[in-house]
Amino acid sequence: MGKLKVGLIGGGGAGNFFGHVHKRAIALDNTRELVAGALRSDPAAAMEAAEAYDVTGYPSYQALLEAVQKGEQALDYVTIVTPNHAHYAPAKAFLEAGIPVLCEKPMTMTVAEAEDLQRIVQTGKVPFVLAHTYTGHPMMMFAREMIREGRIGDIRKVEAWYNQGWLATALESEGLQQAQWRTDPARTGISNCGGDIGTHAFIAATWVSGRSVKKVSARLNSFVAGRELDDDFNVIGELDNGGTAIITATQIAIGYKNDNGFRIYGSKGSLEWHQERAESLLVRMGEVDETYWIGGNYGFLPESVSSYLRVPAGHHEDFFEALANLHGTMERMIRGGRGEAVAAPFAHPGVDEGVAGMRFVKAAVDSSANNGAWTEL
């Protein structure tokens, strides 16, 4: 069937690491290859970065798009890994050109931009995947499937969190590039902590549970002096079925790395998952705790999940494999659309989840500014 050809927008900056993560996630399965890139906003720097990446370089995403449209560059989809403010323009351009997009989160800077992408995708029927990496973890997918099958009954309460400590001090004043753009409203939008990691917690709360959040009451903090945006983000939400969501994220929890996870309580049982122990899912249906481990050969996994797994039990597929699963979903969408015989893609977050995420962050920021008043999404 040949390898899918992938382009990369962004990821070439000095301190950047996530471009390289996508590079590896693309390469991992040997069915996709990174072939082209517009890797930095500065044209010269972009061309230089392309060498390090060992791909065909372009000075801008527009130049890459033009080359594709002229038939000079074969390309099956692009991956966008720029800072938040630079998601929308290339995403829009490629989608309008009918080229599938796998885009980092949060999807855009504003709700309006998000809704615009949603419209384009819905109209054009172009494959779009939002890179909520963690939803590519098989046990998170399995949790979603268990809930869809009604195994834990009606959803009553969801707790989702993301605790980090890397911004507990003012790293942005010490020249760390990652810290600089993330705490800068011009590049990151109206929320730092909420947009960056609060959205992960939000997706865990909604995408896994199958419920949406209707309205929120929030308290955002900026603990580190001189910081304009939030570094701590706390939300109580009401679910569409009247249930409750507790969604928290922080960047000032010293010693915590990527402590993302969820607990979902239903009328028949509970599920619990931790990103830093991504290989297992805790299921509590009664007296005995059940732990389900990742493993391609496990009979308890539905085909929709096990078809993503690469090895039998006992060897863990983790972060790179999770992200590769999102690229795999994109691959299934593209190949399936061409009539190739591939498994059905899993329902990973796309443009609708992107819009919901933007609305969620906006509502939380507004509620916090309004003394915690309940605010509709």
Q: Is the peptide bond before 127 cis (omega within 30 degrees of 0)?
A: no
Least Å from the CB of residue 105 to a second copy: 15
Least Å from the CB of residue 33 to a second copy: 8
Q: What does the alpha-carbon distance between residue 29 and residue 33 come to, in Å, rounded to a whole number? A: 9
Residue pair 183/169 in contact by the 8 Å Cβ criterion: no
Nearer to a second copy, 29 or 240 (CB): 29
Nearer to a second copy, 3 or 187 (CB): 3
Cα dist. 85→74, 182, 272 in Å? Answer: 27, 10, 33
Q: Work out the burial of residue 134: count CB atoms within 10 Å of its CB; fewer than 13 is exposed, 13-18 middle, 19 or more buried.
A: buried
Nearer to a second copy, 55 or 351 (CB): 55
Closest by Cα among 307, 321, 327, 352 to 203? 352
Least Å from the CB of residue 315 to a second copy: 4
Nearer to a second copy, 152 or 351 (CB): 152
The C-alpha R_g of the chain, in whole angstroms, comes to 20
Nearer to a second copy, 92 or 320 (CB): 320
Nearer to a second copy, 165 or 210 (CB): 165
Residue pair 249/231 in contact by the 8 Å Cβ criterion: no
Least Å from the CB of residue 286 to a second copy: 7
Least Å from the CB of residue 117 to a second copy: 27
What pairing do the DSSP bridges indicate for beta strands 280-284 and 270-274? antiparallel
Q: Which pair of structure tokens corresponds to residue 94?
A: 């490629």
Closest by Cα among 163, 127, 143 to 263? 143
DSSP category for residue 287: S
Nearer to a second copy, 113 or 159 (CB): 159
Tokens 């065909």, residue? 56
Least Å from the CB of residue 199 to a second copy: 17
- What are the CB-based long-range contacts (under 8 Å, 24+) for 96-100? 96/120, 96/124, 97/65, 97/68, 97/69, 98/124, 98/126, 99/65, 99/68, 99/75, 99/126, 100/76, 100/126, 100/127, 100/128, 100/129, 100/330, 100/333, 100/334
Least Å from the CB of residue 185 to a second copy: 22
Least Å from the CB of residue 219 to a second copy: 5
Residue pair 85/188 in contact by the 8 Å Cβ criterion: yes
Nearer to a second copy, 108 or 248 (CB): 248
Q: Which pair of structure tokens corresponds to residue 27?
A: 């390469």
What pairing do the DSSP bridges indicate for beta strands 4-9 and 77-80? parallel
Least Å from the CB of residue 183 to a second copy: 17
Nearer to a second copy, 88 or 256 (CB): 256
Nearer to a second copy, 113 or 321 (CB): 321
Least Å from the CB of residue 142 to a second copy: 12
